[in-house]
Amino acid sequence: MTIALASAWNPRGELTRFLNLLPSFQEAYFGLAISLPPDVDQQLVNQLRDLPQVTAILTPEWSHGRYLALKSAAELGVANIHYADFDRILRWVETRPEEWRRVLQRIENHDCLIIGRSAASYQTHPKALIETEAISNLVVSRLVGKQMDVSAGSKCFSKSACTAILKNSKAGYALGTDAEWPLILKQLNFQIDYIEVDGLDWESADRYQDVAADQQNQKEAADDYDANPKNWSRRVAVAMEIIQVGLDTCSRDIATS
């Protein structure tokens, strides 16, 4: 089995942690396709492009990040692709490497494996995320026909499933891909499977830190996040984007070949 990692990364001080964990990534994945915002520091881009097994993609617009990462990973010719938001996969590999490896061992048995958060993992997030994502998760779960947490930023696809997504996906949907990708596969009768893990706990508290945040730092950061009304407004907008993209995907024609 060969697996590539597709990951969208808006850098917030994670490079040192990534370099420390790079051997683990290189052992697990045939290649890493990492998309970056168009205004990212060129020095960081150059550092990534000098790393073995790493492909760095500058996006024309940051809303294209997930799509272009998936497309680049698929071009590596592997049997399976693991998409994961970069800050989330970094925390997972750093804090729960055994769980991460166990999930990778299961990928080849699925066309589409949505990786969600366990109850304990979910509760580490700010209330602004918990309450708004509960709504978008509910709607997308109803559309897919299976209860799941689609917003944890981690999904695995077979080569054929990835090909179908790229043929039918619209670059620019950004976080709406949480709904679009599984719903494309749903309409094409791919099996959509689901598991929950502890390692996708809240990652934003790790920003600009030398190591992943502990539970106390996570809680303090989550409380600070919730204290800002603008964060609540932003998370409502994200939930609405996911729901709208999900509804739009269900109403448009999906190409079968």
How far apart CA 31 and CA 36 sit, in angstroms, is: 16
What pLDDT is stored for residue 171 in this prediction? 84
Give the residue among 170, 137, 166 at the shortest CA–CA distance from 61: 170
Q: Is-above-0.85 flag for pTM?
A: yes
Instruction: Determine the Cα–Cα distance for residues 105 and 213; give it in Å rounded to an integer.
Output: 27
What are the pLDDT digits (tens) for 104-131?
A: 999 988 999 999 999 999 999 999 999 9
User: Where along the chain do its domains lie?
Assistant: 3-251
pLDDT at 190: 96
pLDDT in tens, 66-101: 999 999 999 999 999 999 999 999 999 999 999 999
Q: What is the pLDDT of residue 253?
A: 86
- Residue 154 CA to residue 116 CA, distance in Å, equals 7
Cα 135 from chain centre: 19
Confidence at residue 257, expressed as pLDDT on a 0 to 100 scale: 57
User: Residue 85 and residue 201: Cα distance in Å, rounded?
Assistant: 13
Nearest to 28 by CA among 113, 85, 84, 93: 93
In CATH terms, the fold of domain 3-251 is Spore Coat Polysaccharide Biosynthesis Protein SpsA; Chain A (3.90.550)
DSSP E strands, the chain: 3-8, 31-36, 54-58, 80-84, 112-117, 154-158, 192-197
- Given a cut of 50, the residues of the chain with pLDDT beneath it are none
Distance CA 42, CA 40 (A): 6
DSSP letter for 176, please: G
Predicted local distance difference test score (pLDDT) of residue 1? 66
- State how far Cα 230 lies from the chain centre: 23
